Amino acid sequence: MIYDLSNEIERKSAITKFKAYLDKNAKVDLKIKHKKRSIKQNAYLHLILSYFGTQTGYTMEEVKQEIFKKIVNKELFYQGKKGQLNLDSWRSSSDLDSNELTQAIDRFINYASIEAGINLPNPEDLHHIEYIEKEISKNRQFI
């Protein structure tokens, strides 16, 4: 169950439940639930990743994993080594809150411009967004 700890009733309920788990010596998983990012923000991210792919020959997934996460936003996504095989562990973009995703997108836009010479639109630039949507639809293999 998700508890909103800013609500006094839910806070007391969470404390009661946690104390019951303590009494049972239970294993628990406590996580902070971040504010969900908007569907618009998520759609915008996939749009610019796909367009970058059309301009570079990478798929959207390759752009997302290898460039967006590992090169441009490593400090937001890299979690370190994991397990006996000492494999790299990376956060999912769905784990980012809206502020973190805004920061990651801004960095990617700057990277695309400076490193690849690709001009990505701002979310408000509807004319440019319409243009790249057309380009993406012509190049479906990069999605």
| Per-residue confidence in pLDDT tens, the chain, 143 aa | 888 888 899 889 889 998 999 999 988 888 776 566 677 899 999 999 999 999 999 999 999 999 999 999 999 999 988 877 778 889 999 889 889 999 999 999 999 999 999 999 999 999 999 999 998 998 876 56
pLDDT of residue 60: 93
Q: State how many domains the chain has.
A: 2
> 19 and 79 in one domain?
no
What SS3 class is residue 90?
strand
Cβ-based neighbour number of residue 72 at 10 Å:
22
Give the model's pLDDT for residue 34.
59
* Whether 122 and 99 share a structural domain: yes
- Whether 85 and 100 map to the same domain: the answer is yes
For residues 47 and 29, state if they share a domain.
Answer: no
Q: What is the pLDDT of residue 33?
A: 67
Q: Are residues 118 and 134 part of one domain?
A: yes
State CA 105 to chain mean position distance.
9
Does 79 lie in the same domain as 132? yes
- My answer on whether 28 and 41 are in the same domain is no
For residue 87, which phi and psi values (nearest 5 degrees)? -85, 150
Question: Do 24 and 40 belong together in one domain?
Answer: no
Rounded to two decimals, what is the model's pTM? 0.71
Residue located via tokens 């890299």: 78
Query: Are 17 and 81 members of one domain?
Result: no
Closest CA to 111 of 60, 69, 57, 54: 69
For the chain, report the end-to-end CA distance as a whole number of angstroms.
36
111 and 63 share one domain? yes
Whether 82 and 114 share a structural domain: yes
**Domain region containing 19:** 1-33
One domain, residues 10 and 47: no
